Amino acid sequence: MVKIRLKRLGYKKNPTYRIIVIDSRNKREGAPIEELGHYNPKTKEMKLNKESALNWVKKGAQVSETVQYLIKNCDENGALVYNKKTEVKLSRKAQAKLEEQKQKEAEAAAAAAESSEAPAEEAQN
């Protein structure tokens, strides 16, 4: 079976990867059928021949999860489109505090709406 997967390069604690097409029975650093590009996870730099990768998938090559993510999130030039998460995870205390603050704001808005309606009703009578 032919697979599209990563081949690890680089020295200790500084990995870089090549995206390769290889027979699944070969070891990770074995001789590839074709090299499709490279990926550096530290700098989020990538260069991929997307057209060739999709061509191999059409031929029946199995894609690893990581390579599938990289193919899905690259542009037409083969560069990675990395979207940083803008949502910040909050602790339970911080979430409770935020909910409490939202409730107070909602109550204040409701009170302001009621007070603005009361003079309008008196003017009509």
Digit-coded pLDDT (tens) for 20-48: 999 988 887 788 899 999 999 898 899 99
Single pTM value for the model:
0.63
Q: How confident is the model at residue 118 (pLDDT cuts 50, 70, 90)?
A: low
Q: Output the average pLDDT for the chain.
A: 86
More confident residue, 121 or 44: 44
Domain 2-72 belongs to what topology? S16 Ribosomal Protein; Chain: A; (3.30.1320)
**Residue ranges per domain, the chain?**
2-72, 85-125
User: H or E stretch including 36?
Assistant: strand 34-40
Check: CB of residue 30 under 8 Å from CB of residue 39.
Answer: no
**Distant-in-sequence, close-in-space partners of 82: CB < 8 Å, separation ≥ 6:** 44, 73
